[in-house]
Each structure stands twice: as structure tokens, then as C-alpha cells.
Amino acid sequence: MSFTTHPSARGVARTALSLGTAATLVATLGAPASFAAPAQANSAERAKAHTTISSLSSAQQKAGFNRFVITYTDSALNAGGINWASPAGTQVATWNDALYQGLTSEVKSVDDLFKIKTNYVRTTAQKATVVTLSSKLTAEQAEKYMATLSSNPSVASVEPDLLRRSTARARGAATSKVAQVAQASNQAVAPNDTLYPQQWNLHGTKGLAAPEAWKTTQGAGVTVAVIDSGIVKHPDLDANVLPGYDFITEPSIARDGNGRDSDPTDQGNWEEAGVCGADAEASESNWHGTHVAGSIAAIMNNKRGIVGVAPSTKILPVRALGMCGGYDSDIADAMVWAAGGTVEGVPANSNPAKIINLSLGGEGTCPATYSKAIAEVNKRGAILVVAAGNDGQDTSKVAPANCGGSIVVGATDQNGKRSDFSNYGKIVDVSAPGSNIMSTVDLGTTVSTGAGYTEYDGTSMAAPQVAGVIALMKSVDPSLNAERAKQILKQSSKPLTCDVNGCGSGIVNAASALAMVQGKKDPNPQAKPWPKRAPKHPTRAARVGYVTNPAVNHNPPFLITAHGLIPGQ
């Protein structure tokens, strides 16, 4: 299932809770650092704000804006008088308040203009300030708000803190799976996982060539962080799951009664109609993070379910999406923590990941919130894998795929063609199977009721398979870095049929990639055909998100038992 940013990003149909006021912050701090006098927003600031807002989807612009992230210049961050080492929590005044206090004049100006109240929420891992407003601003008002705050010389950028979402659609009928599994199970196949014959993405002619790669390694000694909706208990995953963290700050989104905590359990992201947006339809829980994790590291040879691309790899579940999605600021903090960075108020990560999967994204220019987090992830040596998106458009219009510093993945189908929903363009590095991908989920339509399996479409399904292949590569060569990993994946990929102007270098090939890592001859050399030219007016797929839109009455997941497959209720 999907990805998290996204999109369609619909604002929460309620005002975010205030966690403090500027007056309270001033009272809790010593003398603030010196700042230049506030200035009127200039044309450059107004133009930048307009570009940011206009790049978002029409649905997001219509929904309005009531949450922003303020980032500061390097000179302001390095100024004297700020004790960056002072203790802090995530829901109280923190060590960055001195910078926020310097915006008093600008904040008062916009508050008076729009008759709102700007409330401090918290400081991010990148020393930026998250604020909420007492009521939503229109797109035009948001541009004025951002431009005015940006007029302070200590401010580098002001951007909406957007909700990113995950969506999904089950594929195929559960009853049809019974006959297919029974027939395939009588064949001499390896591994012995019951649904492995249906995992065309691993062993089919248009798949990843995983069985050949498993002769060399199954990914032991590598940790992959899955920043997503969290994870649920599942016998096909539990042995490979490490202690993670829940980075959702808003209790109403987290659905666990509090903000950030050490429990990354997916509480279910079902929605009632109209709760997450005026036009939002009711939807069921999709257990997206569990599906993504299963594609990477589901256990091999346990005579049940599926097998992951890297079945001996460990999963670090990092929860950043809940009901209505997850905020950019929470996702960015999750990225930094997953790579071993410091997030104030959050315990140190005892299992830093060297590979991070982001099956999420949404329309818009790259926010500074993501670019700063990606820079920190890269500095710490982690390899970031990002889904290209499912809007059938150029990936340059989608963040965080358009931020750089990552390996961007498109999706293909069983025929080796670009999946019709997959985004495309020169930003896409490689492609991987993304249609009809079988993996682990929960049977519950709202809360968790038990382990099951189902198929989803999406670049959200393609990205974790690439993360799994990189885990295999990293297992063989622990010194593998992001630049070399990307180069090898591109050079060793298999041909695909691309009907647009860019699907990456080809379909990722695990066996060939491992051979290149080891300096061996490619076991599956294939000449790549010239890609077809894109149509003059490519049709945008009627899909939203990094997985296809959920059907109102989709086929349910199913549970594998000794008596066969039982559809979920």
C-alpha cells in the first residue's frame, strides 16, 4: 500500500491542538539572541511562497493551511547565546525557542492581519520550528503568511507542514488464491513458503531474479528502516523486526492516546467519511507499513505465506503515518532518527539503519524540511530509497522523490512494462515490480484482528523490493555507499518497456547486482532496447497516491491455515 505523503494530501478537518503560545515561550527562556528589525516581504519572498503553494494539488490548495515549518539560516543557527545542548522535550518549549522569539514582530503582523493565533508546537531534529494556526488560511493567505515570516533575515524558509497519506487497493479474489496455491504447492519449488509461487515479482521472467541472488546471500547483518504506518504482529515477520519508534506527534492522528512513544504498532488508519477532508470518503485500514516490511524481509522456508527479497534482513519499523496521514515534520524527524541522528526528546536509536525506505510522496516542490533531513541521512551513510509516485505524471512534480539524494523507483507489471499508474521521467533511477504484489497485512478492516496476506499495486510496493536488493548487496559488501549502489543497480538492470519519457535504466536484477558487487561476471547479461519516445500528450492515470485508490468494496485479505485460505472478515 502506499506511501506516505501524499496525495492527495487532504488537511485534517480539525484545528491542530495548541501546545504553547509565544507568550509562554518568552516566559520560559532567558534573553533571546539578537535579530535584525523585521522587514516587509519583498518580491522574491512572495514569488517563492507562490511557487510553493501553486505546486501543490488543487485539492490541497482548496483544503487550506493551518500548520507550517519555519527553518533558519546557518548564520542564525550558529549565532551566540543559544544553548543547543540544553534538555528538551517534543511537546514543550525547546532549545530553538530563542530563534522563534526573534519572529515576534512578523508573527504579530500576520496574526493581526488574518485574525488568527500562531501557536508554537515543537522544534524538529533540524532545528526548525513547527507552528499551528487557530484557523485555516486560504492558498492566497498562506502565501502572504509565508512571505511575511520569511522577511526576517534569520529565516531561510517557511513552508506548509503537509499531511502525507497512504492508500491501497487489494487485487484478485481470495477464493481464486485457494486453487492457485493448492496447485503450486504440489510442485517442487524452493523456498517452501506457501504463496511463493504467486510472487511473480521475485522469480518470474520479469521479476527480480531473487532465487539466484539467495545462493549468495539472504541479507543477514543488515537493517532496513521502514518509515510508514507502523507494523503489526505477524508470524511471517516478527522474528525479523527490531524495536522501533512512533514519531506521530498528534494523538488524534496516532490513535494511541498520546504523541510520540516507543511503540510503532500500526493502530489502523481507517477513516469515516468527511473526517480527514470535506470530500473524503470512508476507507478501511490498509496496514501499509506491514505490507512494505513483508516485501523486504518476510521469513523464508517457514512453510507459510510469502518470502521477502532479503529474508534474513532486520526491519526497523518507524511509524510516521496514522489516521489522515502524517506530517512532513514528523516524517523528516523519523528519517534522521532512523539513520542514527539525534531527535530531541526521543531516545537514541540503538539500531541505526543503513537503508531507509520511503514509500510515500505527494505533489509539490521539495520542502526544506525534507532536503535538510535527506542531507543528514546521506551524511550518516544511509541509503535512501523513495517511491516515484502513482499519479502517472513526471516525478519532478512529486516530493520527496524530487529532492535528490535518494534512489527513486518506478513500477512495472508482469509483462515488463511500466505500470500504467507509475510516475516517470529523468528523476526515476530504476524500476521494480509494482503490480499485483503479494505481501503481509492484517485481517482487520479497522483495528488489528490477526495476520493475513493480500496483493497491492503501487510504486510503494516497488520501492521496498529495491531496498531489499540493496540489503543483499550491503550484506556482501558492508562498505557499499549510496552512489555505488545506485550505479550498480542501473548498470545491472533488465530491459523494460517504457511508454513514456523515462522509466529509469530498467528493472532491478538482484543476481546481476550481486555479481557486480563481488566483481564477478554478470550471470544474466541482457542488451537493453532503446526506450520508446513519450507520447506528445501522455494521459495522466486516474490514480492518487503511491498505491492505487482503494476500492469501496475491495476483496479482503485472507488468512492461511492448515485447512486452506480463509477470507478476512
Burial 210-246 (b: 16+ CB within 10 A, else e): bbbbbebbbbeebbbbbbbbbbbebebbeebbbebbb
HSE-CB for 546 with a 13 A CA cutoff: 39
CA dist 370 and 383 (Å) reads: 15
* 157 annotated active-site: no
Q: Is 291 helix (H, G, I), strand (E, B) or coil?
A: helix
- Paired with 437 in beta bridges are 456
CA 1, chain centre distance (Å): 11
CA dist 552 and 537 (Å) reads: 31
For residue 411, give the nearest of 397, 398, 392 by alpha carbon: 392
Contact 300, 199 (CB under 8 A): no
DSSP letters spanning 408-468 = EEEEE-TTSBB-TT--BSTT--EEEE-SSEEEEEES-SSS---EEEEEE-SHHHHHHHHHH
CA dihedral 354, 359, 363, 367 (to 10 degrees): -20
> Who's near 54: CB < 8 A, 6+ residues apart?
61, 139
Which residue's entry shows cell 500504467? 420
Q: What are phi and psi of 226, to 5 degrees?
A: -115, 105
Strands (E) located in 241-311: 245-246
* 442 annotated active-site: no
**Annotated catalytic residue, options 109, 154, 229, 460:** 460
**Annotated catalytic residue, options 288, 329, 406, 493:** 288
**Annotated catalytic residue, options 97, 161, 193, 228:** 228
Say which amino acid occupies 85.
Answer: A
* 246 annotated active-site: no
CA dihedral 495, 226, 378, 520 (to 10 degrees): -40
Contact 492, 522 (CB under 8 A): yes
Is beta strand 437-442 parallel, antiparallel or unpaired with respect to 163-164? unpaired
Q: Is the peptide bond before 557 cis (omega within 30 degrees of 0)?
A: no
CA dist 452 and 441 (Å) reads: 5
Catalytic residues: 228, 288, 460
